[in-house]
Chains A and B, each alone.
Chain A
Amino acid sequence: MANEGPSRIDRGLGGAAAVVGVGNTDWGEDYERNRRGEPNNKGDSYALGALAFRRALADAGLAREDVDGLIVGPKTAYERVGEVLGLNTRWGGQADSVQAVVQACMAIHSGLAEVVALVYGYDQRSSKVQYGGAGNVSGGADHLSYTYHSPWGLTSQGALYALMFQRYKELYGMTERDLGAVAVAQRLAASLNPHAVMKQRIGIEDYLAAPYVCQPLRLLDYCLVNDGGVCLIIAERGRARRIAQQSGRKPVSILGVGRHDLNQGATSLEPRLLHFYRPAQKQAADAVCAMAGVGPQDMDCVQIYDSFSCHVPFALEGFGFCGEGEAARFFRDKGIGLDGELPVNTGGGHLSESYMQGWNHQIEAVRQLRGECGPRQVKDCRHVQYLSDVAGKAVTIIYGA
């Protein structure tokens, strides 16, 4: 049974739906509260999601009754979110950011829903979530690649990316100083973003002076851990136009989606270390470009899932923005900062804006395409691509104004 690839995908999904509303909580403010030893003043994951939802509804100019589909993030129970929000929908489900937008488009395209709310909330800092360490040792079989290696002392996602970057470094000659360009550029973007948690600008020497957490990755290569919520409201194309006429906000079309997974050998890290997930990224990239009818050369900026800074070079290569092993040269010659040829993570990403597990990247894409980003606005922004390669699940989305 041959895999027939992107040509078999119904292109009707491309452009079938558009984002009509976005909302988020006060990431920076709530982080400051946590730093002072106080809880955030919103509440738990459900309260954070509810606030983001209220703000997204207001942004879209919709009433709660207009929503007929609900997707909740992975950290909250579906039924309880629906109960808290008072939503009785005709379609629903639970998904991480990787899948949520894709699922909403599928539901809308198939007629199962017309206006879908995607609600994420996570109080990970207030509830003292630890990534890695003793709590992960008996974590079970859900994520074996994170838990199976605990006898040897590997329990954190960061260490998996450290292993990946060390091999990349030795194979292609990227230096730690080269990688520092990611943290520096994203912090500069965050300094121009009122929502961002980390606004203090840094230079490359600050980056290099930061301590290693898991060598070769330093503290500033790691994402934040902060409380927050994000909501997107996605509507069927025609409905989106009517909503936009009322709200005065430009609808942002979802022009294409692509996905490909590499699961074989996942626990023994083979797709990660032998292939840097490139075969999955290539397939997903081909699919999204075929569906959207645009390619890397058309992107005005990209948003990259960045739990660690090295996601950025891996994604730029894997999704076809530069050749294998060329990311360091791309950083130097083209630039990934707001003034570069391809601005990356224009809100600061997970490293400096907020760690909303990929959800903040979606609303940053929408705001860039609406032209609402003030001092960090990318000029004449018409296409934005989201690139994600979390543990071999490569997903990409192209948004268009």
Chain B
Amino acid sequence: MNMAGIESFPRLIRLDGDQPFRDSIQARRMSLQCCSQCSRWRYPVAPVCPYCFSDTAEWQPVSGRAELLSWAVFHRRYLPAYPPPHNVIVARLAEGPSMVSNLVGAMPEEGCIGRAIQLDYIEDAAGVVLPVFRYSTA
């Protein structure tokens, strides 16, 4: 999958309080909310901790380490930016939350679930940064 030279990624839906998330991606240092009381991480942004219900949290950068939880490959074009074949993956971050993303550098293949992956970033022609993952080399 060649994701270089993409004109424009579809834009993220805006959720209340998500500006630090957007800014951290743009700065290539993706950060998520970590609960000040129970230290659990959450994604996407939320006003209270779904575990302990505390309303205080700190934005902290994630380690970038993750596990490939699942994958799928589009063979039909749903969006102008993404001609087939286009992969989507779900990355389970070392911090706990899972996020939908893309695998770059290789197409996912049978048996890759559970493999270690590493956060990376790509940029569209408009300069918007998108967090993606590649297989860990470590």
Contacts and interface: CB of A to CB of B under 8 A. Distances in A.
Contacts of A150: 10-13, 79
Contact of B69 (A144, A167, A265): A167
Interface residues of A, number: 42
B76 A214 contact: yes
Interface in B76-105: 76, 78-82, 85-86, 88, 90, 97-102
Given A155-B79, A156-B78, A166 B70 contact: yes
B125 interface: no
Contacts of A170: 110-111, 113-114
A301 to B, nearest CB: 31
Contacts of B113: 166-167, 170-171
A152 to B, nearest CB: 5
Given A134-B79, A137-B79, A163-B90, A149 B100 contact: yes
Contacts of A214: 72-76
A290 interface: no
B77 to A, nearest CB: 9
A273 interface: yes
A164 B98 CA distance: 13
Contacts of B43: 267-268
A149 B74 CA distance: 14
Given A163-B71, A164-B70, A268-B97, A152 B88 contact: yes
Interface in A158-173: 159, 162-164, 166-167, 170-171
Given A138-B13, A264-B50, A153 B88 contact: yes
B106 interface: no
A208 interface: no
Contacts of B44: 144, 148, 267-268
Q: Is the interface of B mostly helix, strand, loop or mixed?
A: loop
Given A167-B113, A268-B99, A273 B11 contact: no
A273 B88 contact: no
Of B72, B88, B98, chain A has the most CB atoms within 10 Å of the CB of: B72
Interface in A189-248: 211-217
Contacts of A137: 10-11, 79
A153 B102 contact: yes
A273 B69 contact: yes
B74 A152 contact: no
B72 A162 contact: yes
Given A132-B78, A133-B78, A273-B90, A163 B72 contact: yes
B21 to A, nearest CB: 12
Contacts of B130: 151-152
B135 interface: no
15 contacts: A134-B78, A134-B80, A141-B13, A144-B13, A150-B12, A155-B10, A166-B71, A211-B75, A215-B74, A215-B75, A269-B90, A269-B100, A273-B69, A273-B70, A273-B90
Interface of A: 132-134, 137-141, 144, 147-156, 159, 162-164, 166-167, 170-171, 211-217, 264-265, 267-270, 273-274
Given A166-B72, A215-B73, A217-B72, 5 more contacts: A134-B79, A154-B88, A159-B72, A166-B70, A273-B70
